[in-house]
Amino acid sequence: QKEVEQNSGPLSVPEGAIASLNCTYSDRVSQSFFWYRQYSGKSPELIMSIYSNGDKEDGRFTAQLNKASQYVSLLIRDSQPSDSATYLCAVNIRPNSGYALNFGKGTSLLVTP
Amino acid sequence: GAVVSQHPSWVICKSGTSVKIECRSLDFQATTMFWYRQFPKQSLMLMATSNEGSKATYEQGVEKDKFLINHASLTLSTLTVTSAHPEDSSFYICSAVVLRGSSYNEQFFGPGTRLTVL
């Protein structure tokens, strides 16, 4: 099984700060990368998708991808207490032959007022 | 948007009974849906890929005779947990893929079904 690794945390940041979440993956041929947010007892909610090297910004969120280093990150600017959740990094399991996802174990983020 | 629904949202059953969980794509057609399982404090693990009009593809270690999947239409996939036992208690989540062009795909999840087997 190809691996997706995340620091489990918890990562604690004060309100208004930047939260930085990191993820590494082992399958070099992976093509599609996703960040999901999961609140306790709920299903994952898609935040960002990224397919090319570089940065992708959407509101307060920025995803960064470096395929050479097999590294993907998520930055959350102006963190809010409502951002407190588990953030899951996901990578396509079988690129070019389906879209099932391999998830990391998630990083727990706590934004303190 | 891409909305996926699941029913029921939670179910409690006795050991040995069978439970059916429905997954529907509400505003799009999904030729492929996925079933995941999440145990407490764990991440999502793919159980199987559900393909409309054909047999499901199961991940290694998932018993196909225990977890029956039927994808009878482009908007409905069902997962039946047969002869459920307490170790099957988990959070079952389905998803469907929205294809945006030839290269981009985004997967949206249903709200999940919490199964408790007594």
Quick check: A98 pLDDT over 80? Answer: no
Residues 18-77 of chain A whose Cβ lies under 8 A from any Cβ of chain B: 31-32, 34, 36, 41-46, 49, 51
Q: What is the pLDDT of residue B11?
A: 97
Quick check: B104 pLDDT over 90? Answer: no
Quick check: A85 pLDDT over 60? Answer: yes
Q: What is the pLDDT of residue B93?
A: 97
How far does Cα B47 stand from its chain's mean position?
8
Q: State the burial class of residue B81 (Cβ atoms within 10 Å of its Cβ: 0-12, 13-18, 19+).
A: buried
Looking up tokens 């207490």 gives: A81
- 8 Å CB contact between A58 and A4: no
- CA dist., res. B12 & res. B10, Å (int): 7
Best probe of the A interface among B31, B39, B43, by most A CBs < 10 A, is B43
pLDDT band at A28 (very low <50, low <70, confident <90, very high): confident
Of A43, A51, A92, the CB nearest to B93: A43
Q: What is the pLDDT of residue B102?
A: 62
Q: Which residue of A lies nearest to B102 if distances are taken between CA atoms?
A: A96
Residue B98 sits at the chain A interface (C-beta within 8 Å):
no
CB contact (8 A) between residue B43 and residue A88: yes
